[in-house]
């Protein structure tokens, strides 16, 4: 796969361990959901290493001191419905006060093209660092359209996080949105003729919520 300067693929042993359990078809819904959150938390630490900090004065039991903090209301989480919802709590463990927006996309089963059906975002999102999250990056269509939707609403600093990605999806997003940092837990082999990632883990939404 071509190297893209805006794409970061993790090589973390804990992520590899957790993804191996995530893939297993015998992993139940509860454990699957917990693993998605745990992997997301690890990814959030890494992907937000450049988050903005501002100086604040703090009074310890001994003296006053200047420290650095993430500004209040400076981070927003936007999951791509519905599977992206499974990653929200993982980000909230790091940024518990982050506001949450939602973008609803579905894939036409015949054309494989994404369709937007819902978009509701926090006020002032154009001034925040936005984490767009979706567990799977297959063709890249939904992610590209969601990123375009955020940009149309004034968002300038956007990061995209996914757990499993196909090379085709990475190429699509990296080339359509070179200004967006893309963080990938695990790079898989390819897409099959139906647009599903191989070896993949099945349908993330179904496994998160117990549907078929």
**Would you place residue 134 in the very low, low, confident or very high pLDDT band (cuts 50, 70, 90)?**
very high
Catalytic residues: 107, 111, 203, 206
Q: Express each pLDDT in 165-204 by its tens digit.
A: 999 999 999 999 999 999 999 999 999 998 899 999 999 9
Asked if 19 and 164 count as a contact pair (C-beta separation under 8 A), the reply is yes
Q: Is the confidence at residue 105, as pLDDT, over 90?
A: no
Contacts of residue 104, defined as CB under 8 A and 6 or more positions apart, other chains included, come to 80, 81, 82, 116, 117, 118, 119
Mean pLDDT of 41-61: 94
Domain that holds residue 119: 7-209
pTM reported for the whole predicted model: 0.91
Q: Is residue 2 part of a domain?
A: no
Mean pLDDT of 29-53: 95
pLDDT at 125: 96
Asked if 165 and 184 count as a contact pair (C-beta separation under 8 A), the reply is yes
Asked if 165 and 154 count as a contact pair (C-beta separation under 8 A), the reply is no
pLDDT at 92: 97
Mean pLDDT of the chain: 94
Q: Is the confidence at residue 86, as pLDDT, over 70?
A: yes
User: For position 38, which CATH number holds?
Assistant: 3.40.50.2020
Number of folded domains in the chain? 1
Pull the structure tokens for residue 45.
Answer: 């630490």
pLDDT at 190: 96
Going by C-alpha positions, the residue among 156, 160, 152 that lies closest to residue 132 is 160
Number of H helices, E strands in the chain: 6, 13
Strands 64-69, 75-81: pairing is unpaired
């Amino acid at each position: 796969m071509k190297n893209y300067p805006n794409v970061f693929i993790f090589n973390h042993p804990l992520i590899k361990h957790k993804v191996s359990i995530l893939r297993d078809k015998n992993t139940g819904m509860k454990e699957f959901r917990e693993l998605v959150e745990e992997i997301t938390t690890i990814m959030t630490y890494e992907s937000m290493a450049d988050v903005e900090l501002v100086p604040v004065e703090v009074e310890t039991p001994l003296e006053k001191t200047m420290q650095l903090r993430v500004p209040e209301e400076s981070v927003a989480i936007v999951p791509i419905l519905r599977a992206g919802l499974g990653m929200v709590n993982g980000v909230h463990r790091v940024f518990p006060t982050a506001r949450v927006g939602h973008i609803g996309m579905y894939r036409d089963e015949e054309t494989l093209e994404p369709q937007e059906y819902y978009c509701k975002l926090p006020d002032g999102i154009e001034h925040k660092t936005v984490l767009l999250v979706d567990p799977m990056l297959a063709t890249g269509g939904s992610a590209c359209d969601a990123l375009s939707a955020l940009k149309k609403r004034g968002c300038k600093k956007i990061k995209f996080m996914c757990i499993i990605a196909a090379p085709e999806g990475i190429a699509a997003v990296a080339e359509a949105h070179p200004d967006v940092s893309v963080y990938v837990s695990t790079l898989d082999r390819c897409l099959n003729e139906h647009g599903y990632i191989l070896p993949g883990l099945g349908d993330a939404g179904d496994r998160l919520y117990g549907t078929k």
